Structure 1
Amino acid sequence: MNQPDFLDVVSFAPGGWGGALLAGAWMTILIAISGFLIGSIIGTFGAWAKVSGGRTIRAIADGYTTVLRGIPDLLVIYLFYFGGSAAVTAIGRFFGSEGFIGFPGFLAGALAVGITSGAQQTEVFRGAFKAVHRGEIEAAVACGMSRAVRFRRIIAPLTLRHALPGMGNVWQVVLKESALVSITGVAELLRQAQVGAGSTGMPFNFYVVAGAIYLMISTFSGALLQWSERYFSRGVRRN
């Protein structure tokens, strides 16, 4: 039997894998965006805890960033997926259900990626806040701005400006971490490439295509982040 042409295999024609790979790429983007947004929320509160919190709150935030930055991301995904499945199964048995109940793979992956990226974004936001010149905040106080107005008009925009380069690096890491979510059975890009490679006996070709798709997503998102940096840096003199 002749080996099928690879272009036909990855096409969008009937029997081709183009649609499956495209759906996997979309799932990868959804996981990455969800994890990044969760991490941004965690990072905001984590940075606040390290900058303005009391001794206990700062200790908790330090412990969180130390632990999450020190253990493998894959282990965090395993803990969320299997730990969540064990918890859901126990709850189901309490209400009379029998058998194993799996924790949703997408939710486990998004939470795990969010928790790990949150530790990184905590440090990004903390460093960005420290980069805001004290004189700008003191000027806002002198103008009679309330704390809320100060945060909305001075602190948040300036912190975001300084944080954007670091957030861009975190996004690239999150995008690559999304490939690990395939272990939960989520049909993201790498998982679809694995299935296609096993079904056609063309692993190298499928993984090359998957790598090219990851690179396109990374390049486009990187360009978007660079545009955001330029937009939020309007009026700032560049050295």
Structure 2
Amino acid sequence: MDLLVEYQSQLLSGTWMTVKLALVSLALALVFGLLGAWAKLSSSRLARRSAEIYTTLVRGVPDLVLILLVFFGGQVAFNWFGYVTGLWDFVEISKFVAGAATIGVIFGAYFTETFRGAIMAIPRGQIEAGISCGMPRQLIFRHIIWPQMVRYALPGFTNNWLVQLKTTALVSVIGLQDLVYNAFTAGRSTGQLFTFMAAAFVIYLILTGISDLVLRAVERRYSRGVVRA
């Protein structure tokens, strides 16, 4: 216990890095998810095919492979493009940016299917009723599609978010000082690896527990007035 108190600043900074990484990657995943759902439901064949390739490709490759590919291969490709075009000499992609972008793209593919299923669950007659009343698209989306889409998507969203929060641990392999990296470093330097990994275990449980409580409250809010079978 004394070791945990001694290294508490290192554990707290790693926890904060994990939370920041999870939130930034979540924002990116939501953008990719909404765009992907729109593309899959679009009347454009090109948009549907592009979204299908995106989700199939991302979900078919291990997350760790994609993180390593983006961090190492992406940096080489980015600087090669800058050299060929003469726009820049050398730019180093930060570990945080590489990790957040990769996780955001990965879970954007999962959110695509979550949002697509939620939108398809909305009765078509409600949207047609809005159109017949002369409501513009923005108003239909804000008052008909969005509230119901959130309610239908929340169970899948909760599951994806909890998995995404734990997936942030993979960025430790590229040297980002997140919770796992700092706990492993402290445990290796003190010879008490189990103690610090157990501390990381407890911290992740606390983070996922808080997330679950918050999302359950959001689900109750969007489910007001809904009669459950």
TM more than 0.5 = yes
Say whether 1:173 aligns with 2:163.
yes
Q: Residue 112 of structure 1 corresponds to which residue in structure 2?
A: 102
Preserved CA contact (<8 Å) 1:88 1:102? no
Q: Residue 10 of structure 1 corresponds to which residue in structure 2?
A: 4
Which residues in structure 2 correspond to 1:22-171 (within 5 Å)? 22-90=12-80, 91=82, 102-171=92-161
CA distance in 2, matches of 1:96, 1:136: 52
Q: Which amino acid aligns with 2:150?
A: L
Identify unmatched segments of 5+ residues in structure 1: 1-6
Q: Residue 192 of structure 1 corresponds to which residue in structure 2?
A: 182
Cα offset for 1:183?
1.4
Q: Residue 4 of structure 1 corresponds to which residue in structure 2?
A: none
CA distance in 1, matches of 2:104, 2:88: 32
Which residues in structure 2 correspond to 1:213-224 (within 5 Å)? 213-224=203-214
Taking structure 2 as the reference length, the TM-score comes to: 0.94
Alignment RMSD: 1.7
Taking structure 1 as the reference length, the TM-score comes to: 0.90
CA distance in 1, matches of 2:88, 2:157: 45
Larger radius of gyration: 1
- Give CA-to-partner distance per residue, 1:137-171, whole Å, 9 cap, x none: 12212222111111111111111111111110110
Aligned residues: 227
- Give CA-to-partner distance per residue, 1:97-148, whole Å, 9 cap, x none: 58xx642000000000000000000000000001101121122122221111
CA distance in 2, matches of 1:114, 1:27: 16
CA distance in 2, matches of 1:92, 1:216: 46
Preserved CA contact (<8 Å) 1:82 1:103? no
Cα offset for 1:84?
2.8
Preserved CA contact (<8 Å) 1:47 1:126? yes
CA distance in 1, matches of 2:88, 2:143: 53
Q: Which amino acid aligns with 2:61?
A: I
Identify unmatched segments of 5+ residues in structure 2: none
CA distance in 2, matches of 1:96, 1:145: 49
CA distance in 2, matches of 1:226, 1:115: 25
Matched-pair identity in %: 42
Q: Which amino acid aligns with 1:9?
A: L
